[in-house]
Amino acid sequence: MAEQDGVDLILDQWRRERPDLDPSPIGVIGRVSRLARELEARLEPVYRAHGLEPGWHDVLATLRRTGPPYRLRVTDFSGALMLSSSGTTKRLDRLEQAGLIRRDPDPDDRRGTLITLTAAGRDLIDSVTEAHLANEHRLLSGLSETEQRRLADLLRKLRLSLPE
């Protein structure tokens, strides 16, 4: 039998207390939820070691991945970062104060703003990305490459099956 974790205990308890219910979704949802929190806790130290505050990595990496000129509209961040507009503004304020991004008026939308990665921001995200990916490889080392691909495929399938 496979090694058991805390979710197995929860499942056993529900099966004992409510045998009329099928608690099996907890086996997936409970583990994904717990795993997300545990992984986030293991990603943050790498970010901190490179001078990033919580949440900064996502913004800088999003800009860096867009390619030159490393620029996006503010509205592109709100959805991508799953933050409210005030949460996005607060994060962007801090990044701008740190000199990692720049805000410019959008020439195509007089009410819009463009967020641009500065040279300092690009240098920082380039330096942290190597360490970040090495950390992620380490975190996934308990799974073979085949298992990692299979898990990624299953998680993608689950994500795409959820209603909008």
The pTM (predicted TM-score) of the whole model is 0.83
Q: Given this model, what pLDDT does residue 14 score?
A: 96
- The CA distance from 96 to 69, in Å, is 17
The phi, psi pair for 77, rounded to 5°, reads: -80, -40
- The CA distance from 101 to 123, in Å, is 12
Residue with tokens 């545990």: 38
Walking along the chain (164 residues) 10 residues at a time, the average pLDDT comes out as: 88 96 96 95 95 90 94 78 74 94 90 93 96 97 97 95 89
Q: Given this model, what pLDDT does residue 78 score?
A: 66
Q: Let me know: does 96 contact 103? Beta carbons within 8 Å.
A: yes
Q: Given this model, what pLDDT does residue 89 score?
A: 82
Helix (H, G, I), strand (E, B) or coil at 101: strand
Helix (H, G, I), strand (E, B) or coil at 115: strand
Q: Given this model, what pLDDT does residue 142 score?
A: 96
Residues 6+ away with beta carbon under 8 Å from 20: none
